[in-house]
Each structure stands twice: as C-alpha cells, then as structure tokens.
Amino acid sequence: MKNYAKTTLGNEGRTELHDLLGLTGAEISINHLPSGAGVPFVHSHRDNEEIYGILAGRGHAIIDGEQLALAAGDYLRIAPAAKRQFFAADSEGITYVCIQVKANSLGGFTAGDAVID
C-alpha cells in the first residue's frame, strides 16, 4: 500500500477530496461559482473551522452579516459558529479551496512535526 494518493481535477463545480484522496485529518473541497452565482444556503459548524483560499476570480462572502470582498490570493479563517455564505461577482466567477478541520486540534506546526531522513 502506498503512503500517498493523487487525483487530477477538471472544471467541476465542486469536488470533495476526502474520498478521492482518503483524507483522515481534514476535509478539503475545490469549488467554482460562475459569475452571478452564490452558495444557496447560509451555514455554520459545530466543531470545525474553515480555511478558504481564493484561487481565481472575484466575489464576496457574508460572514455574521458582514460583507467581505474576495479576490484571487485572499485567504481567510472562519470560526465554527460564524454564519457564512459565498458569492461570485456579477462580472466573473470565483474558484476557491475550502479546508475544514476541527477547531483547536493543531498539535504542532510543520517544522515541529517533520522527521529529517
């Protein structure tokens, strides 16, 4: 059995990587909203914080009632209890990665967990 998994994505609207890669510590999705579209629901979480990275395009998020402009290169962390919803700009779509992990579960950082062979 290999110690890694690889997948290749196309231009799907939303792809969840937990099954494709056999993830055991995080949930990761790649999302694309076409121009003028939005996620059709507001949501929050019980335990998991989310990290969003804007890969391409522009749009905005509404987080706890506050509108936040988003563009390629922006990253944000949203606490579990925050109510959130995402939208693409009217003039262009937005592509983003969402990483979901249990809040306060990080036991160390890369350098502290690395083993040099």
Q: What pLDDT digit, counting tens, does each position of 16-61 carry? A: 888 889 899 899 999 999 999 999 999 999 999 999 999 999 999 9
Q: If one looks up domain 14-104 in CATH, what number appears?
A: 2.60.120.10
- Segments making up each domain of the chain, as ranges: 14-104
Interatomic CA distance for residues 114 and 117, integer angstroms: 9
Instruction: Please report, for residues 15, 29, 58, 106, 107, the alpha-carbon distance to residue 10 in angstroms, rounded to integers and kept in the order given.
Output: 9, 13, 20, 31, 34
Is the pTM higher than 0.95? The answer reads no
Could you give the percent of the chain with pLDDT greater than 90?
A: 69
Could you give the 3-state DSSP secondary structure of residue 97?
strand
Region 80-84: mean pLDDT is 97
Which stretch of 12-16, 35-39, 81-85, 110-114 has the lowest confidence by average pLDDT? 110-114
pLDDT of residue 1: 65
Region 2-12: mean pLDDT is 85
Mean pLDDT of the chain: 92
